[in-house]
A = this chain, B = another copy of it.
Amino acid sequence: MAHGGPEIEQLIQLLARLPGLGPRSARRAVLHLVKKKEQLMIPLSAALDRAVMAVRTCEVCGNIDTTSPCLICADPRRSESGMLIVVEDVADLWALERAGIGAVKYHVLGGVLSPLDGVGPDDISVEALLMRAHEFSEIVLAVNATVEGQTTAHYITDRLGEDAPKITRLAHGVPVGGELDYLDEGTLSQALRARTAI
């Protein structure tokens, strides 16, 4: 490699594996890092080292944090609502937390059932969910509105069985700030059916 040497080339290849970056943008990112060595490259290197050491998966809910149980699971105020929100992915948990939905707890499935991709019940965190479900008064199945997400929701509802807590799902409807014109028909008809009085 005439340009950059093996250290640079390897860094580009690893960065290119991040979602949202390809080979070209990874190269640009590395050049930017090298130019901002003191302000960005060295702090990033140190932050990554620290994160590698500190980060772990919460053994209760599947969240990513620096402690296990995570700060959310360890927070006693979050038990008061009695609400457990089941999500597919840690990213969904973080999105709900950013939305400031209040003091709730979570369970991260780590995926959805997808027979075509070979993802069965043992590949996602269903058993752990069944073990803790009785601690809550309401289980919100906040899985994505995809076929796999809905299949997973049905499966979990079945497995929770008769004496389960109340099971709910997120409302469908028009996104806040969204334009009707750009919405698909399924969402629009769901939004009309679930219309509310002003």
- CB-CB under 8 A from A44, the residues of chain B are 11, 14-15, 48
The distance in angstroms between the C-alpha atoms of A37 and B48, with both chains bound, is 11
Q: Which of A50-58, A139-147, A158-166, A182-190 contacts B (4 or more CB under 8 A)?
A: A50-58
Within 8 A of B (CB), among A68-94: 71-72, 75, 89-91, 93-94
Q: Is there an interface contact between A5 and B91, defined as CB atoms closer than 8 Å? A: no
Task: Identify which of B32, B48, B67 contacts A19 (C-beta below 8 A).
Answer: B32
The distance in angstroms between the C-alpha atoms of A81 and B29, with both chains bound, is 32
Q: Is there an interface contact between A45 and B34, defined as CB atoms closer than 8 Å? A: no
Q: Size of chain A's interface in residues, with CB distance under 8 A?
A: 55
Task: Identify which of B15, B52, B90 contacts A42 (C-beta below 8 A).
Answer: B52
Is residue A25 within 8 Å, beta carbon to beta carbon, of the partner chain?
yes
Q: Is there an interface contact between B4 and A47, defined as CB atoms closer than 8 Å? A: no
Q: Is there an interface contact between B49 and A3, defined as CB atoms closer than 8 Å? A: no
Is residue A8 within 8 Å, beta carbon to beta carbon, of the partner chain?
yes
Q: Is there an interface contact between B14 and A43, defined as CB atoms closer than 8 Å? A: yes
Q: Is there an interface contact between A65 and B5, defined as CB atoms closer than 8 Å? A: yes
Is residue A154 within 8 Å, beta carbon to beta carbon, of the partner chain?
no
Q: Is there an interface contact between B47 and A2, defined as CB atoms closer than 8 Å? A: no
Is residue A10 within 8 Å, beta carbon to beta carbon, of the partner chain?
yes
* Known contacts A3-B94, A21-B21; 4 further A-B pairs (Cβ under 8 A): A2-B71, A14-B43, A27-B91, A41-B51
